[in-house]
Amino acid sequence: MPDMTDRPLGIPVDPTPRPLPARITLRGQSVVLEPLHRRHAEELWEATQQDPAADSSWDYMGYGPFASADAMAVFVTGFASTHDPMAWAVRPVSTGIVSGWLTLMDIQPAHAAIELGHIWFAPRMQRTRASTEAMFMLLRLAADDLGYRRLVWKCNALNAPSRRAAERLGFTYEGMLRAQYVMKARLRDTAYFSIVGDEWPPCRDALLAWLDPANFAPDGTARRGLAEIRAGFTSAA
């Protein structure tokens, strides 16, 4: 029987729980995502050794840097065994070498909410077409294939590159939880971002347009930035 009250109760939605992500390999144009496994540890360790700035890439993570290849292997073995977060190793096609990982986490099937998080890319992979496509592939898996309506991104409020990345992908800033965590003996405020409901299709279409091979010059440089492309989709709407 329909509720005839005039009280504000929220928008009716399909309450069917969403499926859990499956631990499967995902293939894109510039990157392959492989379910994280201990066998990736050696390549990941090598990725951390390729650049003197690699240690700083762990500044806002709850773990790392690792003191040795064995220490990284122990961490990767444990991390790969969890179902939430569920981690993928990132293998750029251009190098064929695993150079990072990322996860789907805080998975809430009953609420159709899921987070893209635990993103770590070695310096050589940061700000590349492969890194953008890796994030896009998991967002598309969550939203289009599994039907999640709330996509979440959160980060240390001091992590300016992560905040810029969220906004570049189309996430909307929601606010900050103050003094939420203690990370590496430092107090952390957490910035929250989201893409919800009908916000996803234009974000998806802008990302697809940016990732289109025609958008890249022979040297691999993007002809148009993602913000410019997304602005075009917004104005057209």
In whole angstroms, give the CA distance from residue 205 to residue 132. Answer: 14
Domain that holds residue 191: 26-236
- The larger pLDDT score, comparing residue 173 to residue 231, is at 173
In a domain, 146, yes or no: yes
Summarize pLDDT for 11-37 with one digit per residue, the tens: 999 999 999 999 999 999 999 999 999
| Per-residue pLDDT at 2 | 57
Q: Token match 């993602």: residue? A: 226
In a domain, 77, yes or no: yes
* Angle at 33 (CA atoms; ends 123, 65), nearest 5 degrees: 35
| Per-residue pLDDT at 19 | 98
pLDDT higher than threshold 80 for residue 89: yes
In a domain, 187, yes or no: yes
In a domain, 7, yes or no: no
In whole angstroms, give the CA distance from residue 165 to residue 116. Answer: 12
In a domain, 221, yes or no: yes
In a domain, 13, yes or no: no
pLDDT higher than threshold 80 for residue 4: no
In a domain, 17, yes or no: no
| Per-residue pLDDT at 231 | 85
Number of domains, the chain: 1
- List the strands of the sheet with 26-27, edge to edge: 26-27, 31-35, 86-92, 100-108, 113-121, 150-156, 186-196, 172-183
In whole angstroms, give the CA distance from residue 146 to residue 65. Answer: 34
| Per-residue pLDDT at 53 | 78
pLDDT tier for residue 237 given thresholds of 50, 70 and 90: low
Strand runs (DSSP E) across the chain, as ranges? 26-27, 31-35, 86-92, 100-108, 113-121, 150-156, 172-183, 186-196
Q: What is the CATH number of the domain that holds 67?
A: 3.40.630.30
In a domain, 21, yes or no: no
